[in-house]
Amino acid sequence: MKNRIAIVTGASAGIGAATAVRLAKDFAGLVLIARREEELKITAEAVKAAGAEPLIIQADLRRAAAAEQVVDKTIERFRQIDAVINIAGAVPQIHLFEMTDEQWNDGAEMKLHGARRLTIKAWPYLKASKGSVVLTSGNSAEAPKPGFAAVATINAAIVALAKAFAEQGIIDGVQVNSILPGPVMSNRRISFLKKWSEANQISLDEAKAKFLVEAHIERYGEPEEIAELVAFLISPAAKWMTGTAVRMDGGEVKGI
């Protein structure tokens, strides 16, 4: 199991960084994708300390050419791809009536099409290794609201895209699942809470507490908890699990 190679996008922060470091226990090489070099170097050090060889590839996944560059550089260095973990996401949380076409396109180009293009470019290698793919959606896919319509819509599309890849994966021997995190404490969550605190004219600390009460959850999730879920999904123990959307959210979604 330890001779495997994984690509992790969004590896400069939050859930992506935590996932790369967690997977360093199970994989020989971790390919770390994001735009910010200094942050990627910090993840790379932690990956090395956890026992795997890091490869930093700075890439803006909104660019169509990025997927090919990532796959080419990975193959040049490691000769194989066993897992592609699509975590990068930065869809703006702007009201439905205020969001411009450009902001919609930018969000979808990165989170939806960035993941789609990378998975397709890596597919021949995943087919050869009988590998795994994870796509990151989010609870907003199940409870869209006007204040975050774009991320909810894109997250719902990601669940559908993962299902389509999984169907192809049954033919090609590639396992594909999506994950739906609930509120996880990261830079993205803090920026959401800051906006929310301003709208409600309360402090950030008050917003953090109020959100938990309104969501009726005991606490925020940690990036490391989502990382454990990803590690399980691509482990031999979960090999029969494919085409599934897996939620980890402290009980935020109340429906069954």
Ligand X SMILES: NC(=O)c1ccc[n+]([C@@H]2O[C@H](COP(=O)([O-])OP(=O)(O)OC[C@H]3O[C@@H](n4cnc5c(N)ncnc54)[C@H](OP(=O)(O)O)[C@@H]3O)[C@@H](O)[C@H]2O)c1
Select the span of 24-32, 33-41, 71-79, 240-248 touching ligand X (CB under 6 A): 33-41
Q: How far is the CB of 112 from ligand X (least distance, A)?
A: 10
Q: In what order do the strands lie in the sheet with 53-58?
A: 53-58, 29-34, 5-9, 83-86, 132-136, 175-181, 245-248
Distances (CA, A) of 126 to 55, 81, 96: 18, 6, 38
CB atoms within 10 A of CB 211: 18
The H-assigned helical ranges of 132-186 are 149-172
Q: How far is the CB of 201 from ligand X (least distance, A)?
A: 23
Among 25, 36, 130, 194, binds ligand X (CB under 6 A): 36
- Measured from the CB atom, the residue of 111 and 117 that comes closer to ligand X is 111
- Measured from the CB atom, the residue of 128 and 160 that comes closer to ligand X is 160
Residue 138 binds ligand X, judged by CB under 6 A: yes
Collect contacts of 72-80 with beta carbons under 8 A, ≥24 apart. Answer: 73/31, 74/5, 74/7, 74/31, 74/122, 75/125, 77/29, 77/31, 78/5, 78/29, 78/31, 80/4, 80/5, 80/125, 80/128, 80/129
Contacts of 76 (CB under 8 A, 6+ apart): none
Select the span of 13-21, 48-56, 92-100, 118-126 touching ligand X (CB under 6 A): 13-21
Q: How far is the CB of 168 from ligand X (least distance, A)?
A: 22
Select the span of 126-134, 166-174, 181-189, 230-238 touching ligand X (CB under 6 A): 181-189
Q: For residues 209 and 33, what is the distance between their CA atoms, to the nearest angstrom?
A: 33
Place of tokens 């021997």: 173
Q: Are 224 and 116 in contact (CB under 8 A)?
A: no
Residue 153 binds ligand X, judged by CB under 6 A: no
Among 6, 10, 32, 93, binds ligand X (CB under 6 A): 10
Place of tokens 């400069």: 12
Among 28, 46, 50, 90, binds ligand X (CB under 6 A): 90
Among 88, 118, 135, 162, binds ligand X (CB under 6 A): 88
Site string for ligand X, 38-57 (x = CB under 6 A): -x------------------
Residue 250 binds ligand X, judged by CB under 6 A: no
Provide the binding-site residues for ligand X, judged by CB under 6 A: 9-10, 12-16, 34-36, 39, 59-62, 87-90, 110-111, 136, 138, 181, 183-184, 186-189
